[in-house]
Amino acid sequence: MEIIKGLDLEIQKGEMHAIMGPNGSGKSTLANTLMGHPAYKITKGEIEFEGKSMLDMQTHERARAGIFLAFQHPKEIDGVTLRSFLLSAYNSCVSEEGQAISPIKFKKLLDDTMKELKIDPEFANRSINKGFSGGEKKKVEVLQLKILKPKIAVLDETDSGLDIDALKTVSEGINSLRSGDDKLTCLLVTHYARILDYVAPDHIHIMVNGKIVESGGPEVASKLEETGYKDY
């Protein structure tokens, strides 16, 4: 079944683009396809990152190239602690010239970042997402984002299931990576406009039935608040 149909999107370095749309419009399919999920097959077209094709790159190769996906429904991984997972990922994707960071130095980095995101430091010793609430899982996604510092982040409905306090914390974490000269490039996938009260995308796109049907600025989100998706 064809899900995404002739989608054309270009994101410049340092920009944040938000894609909004009703359920079943293809937003999460797009996010997973960009990361190389094997369940999806690209039959036509191209995906380029920094001038290079990604079509033949495996998921781990895309991650090492600097692409990050925050999941809509983060998985639980029993038996692997959050600390060991992040240390391994950091040494694989971030450490310069193949020099692994020491566990002691990494512990300070992790503790400081968890404090910033209001995450209990004891969570670092627990299995990934095991027994975490929905909000805690989303905070851990942003924790990974801040630790790994990718070149581009694809955030698949990171705001779903968050109460107002968790939404503010997650948004502050995203915004902290979007300041300064080396701003995070970001594709934010969302169903509701409420996160746009806390993060300010440069461009907003409406996706319906696998296609982008409208693009613009904040006025697009304002229109959605008034009319919903029925006009599309």
Please give the average per-residue pLDDT across 26-44, as a whole number.
Answer: 93
pLDDT tens-digit profile of 77-125? 999 999 999 999 999 887 665 678 889 999 999 999 999 999 999 999 9
**What pTM did the predictor assign?**
0.91
Between CA 130 and CA 88 the distance in angstroms is 19
Question: What CATH class is the domain 16-75+134-227?
Answer: alpha beta
User: Residue 142: pLDDT above 90?
Assistant: yes
- pLDDT of amino acid 223: 84
pLDDT tens-digit profile of 150-204? 999 999 999 888 899 989 999 999 999 988 778 899 999 998 888 999 999 999 9
- Mutual angle of helices 82-93 and 134-148, in 10-degree steps: 30
Long-range pairs, 210-216, Cβ under 8 A, ≥24: 210/2, 210/3, 210/4, 210/5, 210/6, 210/7, 210/25, 210/26, 211/4, 211/5, 211/6, 211/7, 212/7, 212/8, 212/9, 212/19
- pLDDT of amino acid 77: 95
**What are the structural domain ranges in the chain?**
16-75+134-227
- pLDDT of amino acid 180: 74
Q: With bands split at pLDDT 50, 70 and 90, how would you rate the model's confidence at 34?
A: very high
